[in-house]
Structure 1
Amino acid sequence: MMKNYVKDRYELAAQTLSKKLERRNFEVIICQDLEAAKKSALRMIASDKTVGFGGSITVEKSGLIEALYQRGQQMIDREKTETPEERHRVMKQALTADYFLTSINGISEDGQLVNVDSVGNRVAALTYGPDKVLAFVSMRKVYGDVETTLEMVRKNTAPLNAHRLGLEKTPCIKKGNCGDCLQPECICNTIVITRRSMVKNRLAIFLLLEDVGL
């Protein structure tokens, strides 16, 4: 369980960070926990619109996807596919969804979003396509300047995800650290830094005051 003083610190830091994010045209919703984020996202998503999503432990743990299914939302879900070809087609279709659910690998203290991706579908949706992107991210993923944030994502988040996905041929698993590899299983094929949203409030950042995600 998170100590109260840690949550107090996260809350103060979130208030400061939110102003920097808003100056970059991001919408910011500060949430006490995943349950609060889920409820806020459900209010934001129109029930008659399509929803796509990328791989995200944080989004999965929130229960948001299940709640959307329960209310009859039209979902673009790659996990419901049966063949690689169908999965690829559905992942491309998700880029045209009205809403896209994802997470953020890291945020710099000045409000820039840092993400690494394997296939690229998640960062593609983040940068262009869906009219609205809802991104869940814990305050513990706010690291420092952009260079420090990228280093933390490459050296910490990427190896953890490689272990989660069982990418056994990568240095992430063989050595426990990023080796800047060019292996077929490389999880860091695409690195994206989003310093500003061209369309105001297109990207909604749900800042979570609890330790969740990788």
Structure 2
Amino acid sequence: MSQQKSDYADDVTIDETLDDLPSDAELDVTVENLEANGFEVRVVETADDALDAVTSLIPDGASVMDGHSTTLEEIGFMDHLMSGDHPWENLHAEVFEIDDDDDRFAARRRAQTADYFVGGINAIARTGELVAADRSGSRIGAYPFAAGNVVIVSGVNKIVADLDAAFDRLEAVAYPLENERAKDAYGVESAIAKQLVFRQELTEGRTTVVLVREQLGY
């Protein structure tokens, strides 16, 4: 069953000042700075619009892998990917059909080099940087180099003033919620073990950020 932010929001205390929707002016500045840093940006109104935007970015025949993201669950991307109602090679399904643990781990590592890697982010600085963290690195490993193309989907609630605030959001919003999810899903606590600051995309057109004017994910 798809996970939603609301599944865990009542179980933890977060800094809600770092999870507010930005003003139109703040959003405009964020888009301008992301684009100046080499990211393609699409701003959409709703989760349904976000799903349409993501699917329109991925060409027929491309290999597709995802990094776990509540936002992808909330916009319906994971249901769409796993339904098979698309013209892509679904690496996620291929990986998790493998029974042997070592072989599956190796396949997950190879899947980081997918033609299109789709995932979320934990914070976006208005100054134009993206911040994310993982326990294992299985999501953020693809972002800086491994994947051919990257599509990052985020609710605009993840936009904060600057990098310092982005790190604060990671600690005070994303981690508490992800920790609850990890305990529920895997029976272990999460950790901010591997952290990425994605300051610039130097390959034109490689990384697209889809910003949704809704409060999604963490």
Give the percent of matched residue pairs that are identical in Structure 1 and Structure 2.
22
Match of 1:174 in 2: none
For 2:193, the equivalent position in structure 1 comes to: 189
Q: Distance in 1 between matches of 2:211 and 2:24?
A: 9
Cα distance change of structure 1 residues 186 and 71 upon mapping to structure 2, 3 Å threshold: closer
Structure 1 length-normalised TM: 0.83
The 5 A counterparts of 1:41-190 are 41-68=54-81, 69-77=84-92, 78-166=95-183, 185-190=189-194
Please tell me the residue identity of whatever aligns with 1:148.
A
Deviation per residue, 1:132-181 (Å, 9 max, x gap): 100001111112210121011122211110111107xxxxxxxxxxxxxx
Q: Which amino acid aligns with 2:133?
A: V
Contact 1:10 1:139 in 2 (8 A): no
- Aligned residues: CA RMSD: 2.3
Q: Is the 8 A contact 1:117 1:191 kept in 2?
A: yes
Change (3 A) 1:79 1:210: farther
Gaps of 5+ in 2: 1-19
Say which SS state the counterpart of residue 70 (structure 1) adopts.
Answer: coil
Is the contact between residue 14 and residue 30 of structure 1 (CA under 8 Å) also seen in structure 2? no
What is the rounded CA distance, in whole Å, between the counterparts of 2:203 and 2:134 in structure 1?
Answer: 23
| TM-score when normalising by structure 2 | 0.81
Higher relative contact order, chain-length normalized (CA < 8 Å, sep 6+):
2
Counterpart position of 1:200: 204
Please say which of residues 60-69 and 20-29 is displaced more in the overlay. Answer: 60-69
| CA shift in 2, pair 1:79/1:165, >3 Å | farther
Structure 1, unpaired ranges of 5+: 1-5, 168-183
Residue aligning to 1:209: 213
- The CA deviation at 1:186 is 4.7
Measure, in 2, the Cα distance between the counterparts of 1:127 and 1:144. 23
Structure 1 match to 2:45: 32
Is 1:14–1:207's contact at 8 Å kept on the other side of the alignment?
no
